[in-house]
Amino acid sequence: MRMGRCRILLLAVGLALGPSHPLFSHPQSAPDPGLSRAALAYQAKQAREFDRAVALFEEALAADPENLHLRKDLAYTLLAVGKSERARDEFGEVLRRDPNDSYIALEYAFLCHETNRPEIAWKIFRGLQGAANPEHRATATRTFKSMDAELLGRIARLEEALRRDPGNYGSHLELARARRIRNDYAVAAAEFDAAYRLKPQYAEVLLELADVLRKAGERERAEAVTLTASRCASAYVAEQAKQFLPPRYPYLSEFENALRFEPRQPELRREMGFFLLSLGRKPEAQAALERVLTEDPDDLLAAAQLGFLELEQGRRDTAIPRLRAALRTTDNALRQRISDLLSKEGALEAQPGAATISPETATEIPAATLSKSFADAESAREMGRKSYDAGFIPDAIRFYQEAQRLDSANFDTMLRLAWSLNMGKRDDEALRWFSLAARSPDTAVAEEAKAAIRNLTTPAASSSAMVAAAPREGLVASLWAMPLHSTRWGSTFSYAQAKLEWEQPRLPVVPYLSVRFVGDTTGAIGAANPQFLSENSFILGLGARTRPWKGILAWGEAGSTMAYLSSRRQETGRFLPDYRGGLSQFRLFGPSLLNAKSGAFAETMNDLVYIHRFDRDTLAISRNRLGRHLGRIDSLGGLQLQAFLSLNLNTDFKRQAWANFVEAGPGLRLRWAWMPPSVSFTFHYLRGHHTIRRIDERPNTYNDFQAGFWYAVTR
């Protein structure tokens, strides 16, 4: 039977019959809420304005989705404008809601045959051979016999070809597809399997095999084939297969089933080995990795992990050669882990400049590094970047965490995750990721992470230490404040700065607008000749800074100072030009205040500052601390404490007595873990000496106790 002629006849009948024809009649117990739109749709259809009619039918159906009469007319109108696949789907929906409508079943079957759904068409035509309507039954019988005879002839020819040439890939594949059309799913599965065994490089066959296995009711085998397809080299096949996997990581039994289906899957077996490691089943994991190396001796990731396990067992004779061979890997993070461990074992000299990764962390490679779906990791990174830029920080954190899970050795992802956590006010977690990113072999990533660590952990004594190193674009606002009480002067001093920076990665410098505050609670000492202890001013400035390089940055600004004390204004004027700039440097050795582990530490902060208003003087300031970080003391509520000795040096180019001194003494710095990471308290006892004799009758040697705290925030 010629399918096209029958289809044209059905289309003509469908377009000719009106809504009053008994074929379309159905009981209505209430007014149709879509009646007005439906009436307009029929008017448009009568005027042969089919596109407009389609839109109106869809609006009417939105108001009354159960109206099969409207849905049928929508399908026929779609046919009139050549949208066969959409018409097919509408007829399928009608048939789903009314399985006894043999006329629509015929229409749906013909459309399935024409739109490459022969499997559904064959099944419907076969079923309609028992239809109640004699005309529909006769049409279905003639069509089915014609279709099935053609299929059986094709199957016979393919089977004969396979008897002559059992190893013919194309014949197995075509026979499987012909059997699938006839709904012989078990036989089709066997043929798809045979085709795949002949040419396993054509992984798309796995998708068809899994499909017929599902339809045959072999759910477990279908899942095994789908898992195999999801780990294949073809990105297209892998993505298609993942749509049929559950939204979770595979169970161990599913790995085992997939490997029973196809034992020659070293990458999947390696992934299972790492999964076994995560379950603590090391002997089974070791056996799986050994099998991987038997099948693929060049699998350096499996060799490295097997070497780590053998080293744990004391089998240095086999572990060391494996690890040395695995140094050929292009994975920088893995190579660093291997180098560190071999160096510890005395089997390899330490490489200069190599990032330090604790050997304790090198005894297991995270299973996430095995994922070959790096496109997924890249997609997650891209979504994280877009969310971060749009200000959706919780989403950015979630996407970057997923990217890190999929590609755990990517240091740039660690850095982006750290910044997202920092913006989400989860600085304790951010600091951990910054610390990992600081080990990156990429100098730019490592330096950016180190700058962030300094910014988070340093209660700096200079405004330049508050430089924002975050990889943001656009306007970035920051604020730092440092109140400090001094017994020497009997006054409380306050230093603060609010800054609005314009971050543009393409620019070599970062322009900013700044408001500084410098003041004290005393104001002035001495009645006849008052001496001010600080500037007692707000300083508005427009400036620019360089990006940090090896802990060093340069900055400069021009603006105006405004004295807020009336006595100060009378002396100097309310507004005065202000020009200042300089160089700043900071370096920390050992654990920071936020570190949970104890250890010795040393830090140095050095500033060279030019201030035009101070007789065009340049100050050189050095603050140095050496001490012991006591870690986190949970018995004291999570107290984090450092004890240290300070050595502070001050001088200036004009050699003024007040600016030249040296002081030293013990101190404590502390915070509690529940506080924001940028908050800390400092207590100092200092013994100082002015290196140039003072002329203000004050002693050259002094004692001072200082107490203060530091706070900073960036948005």
pLDDT grade, residue 281 (50/70/90)?
A: confident
pLDDT at 116 over 90: no
pLDDT grade, residue 697 (50/70/90)?
A: low
- Contact between 700 and 659 under an 8 Å Cβ cutoff? The reply is no
Q: What's the sign of the alpha-carbon dihedral 72, 77, 80, 83?
A: negative
pLDDT grade, residue 32 (50/70/90)?
A: very low
| Rounded distance between C-alpha atoms, residue 434 and residue 423, angstroms | 13
Higher per-residue confidence, 371 vs 440: 440
pLDDT at 659 over 50: yes
What is the pLDDT averaged over residues 17-35? 38
pLDDT tens, residue by residue, 7-16: 444 444 344 3
pLDDT grade, residue 458 (50/70/90)?
A: low
- Contact between 208 and 176 under an 8 Å Cβ cutoff? The reply is yes
What is the pLDDT averaged over residues 601-610? 90
Which residues have C-beta within 8 Å of that of residue 121, sequence separation ≥ 6?
109, 110, 112, 113, 147
Q: What is the pLDDT of residue 565?
A: 59
- Contact between 50 and 98 under an 8 Å Cβ cutoff? The reply is no
Own/partner long-range contacts of 700-704 (Cβ < 8 Å, ≥24 apart) = 702/488, 703/488, 704/486, 704/487, 704/488, 704/663
pLDDT tens, residue by residue, 258-277: 899 988 888 888 888 888 88
pLDDT tens, residue by residue, 357-397: 333 333 444 443 333 333 457 777 877 787 776 666 777 78
Give the Å distances, CA to CA, from 251 to 4, 27, 92, 137, 302. 49, 52, 36, 49, 21
pLDDT at 146 over 80: yes
Q: What is the pLDDT of residue 225?
A: 92
Q: What is the pLDDT of residue 389?
A: 67
What is the pLDDT averaged over residues 469-474? 53
pLDDT tens, residue by residue, 149-195: 888 998 999 999 889 998 898 899 999 999 989 898 999 999 999 99
Low-confidence winner among 185-199, 290-304, 524-538 (lowest mean pLDDT): 524-538
Domains of the chain: 3-134 (1.25.40.10), 165-261 (1.25.40.10), 266-350+359-370 (1.25.40.10), 374-457 (1.25.40.10), 463-714 (2.40.160)
What is the percent of the chain where pLDDT is above 70?
81
Low-confidence winner among 169-173, 368-372, 474-478, 672-676 (lowest mean pLDDT): 368-372
pLDDT tens, residue by residue, 579-590: 899 998 888 787
| Rounded distance between C-alpha atoms, residue 662 and residue 489, angstroms | 17
Residue 526 — left, alpha, or beta (φ > 0 → left; ψ -120 to 50 → alpha)? left
Q: What is the pLDDT of residue 532?
A: 46
Backbone angles phi, psi at 473, to 5 degrees: -125, 150
- The verdict on pTM exceeding 0.85 is no
Average pLDDT of the residues of the chain: 78
Residue 190 per-residue DSSP state: H
- Dihedral of CA atoms 340, 342, 344, 346 in degrees, nearest 10, equals -140
Q: What is the pLDDT of residue 688?
A: 92
Higher per-residue confidence, 471 vs 712: 712
pLDDT at 645 over 90: yes
What is the pLDDT averaged over residues 88-95? 88
pLDDT at 600 over 80: yes
- Contact between 10 and 114 under an 8 Å Cβ cutoff? The reply is no
pLDDT tens, residue by residue, 399-423: 888 787 777 678 888 888 888 888 8
Token pair, residue 37, equals 């739109």
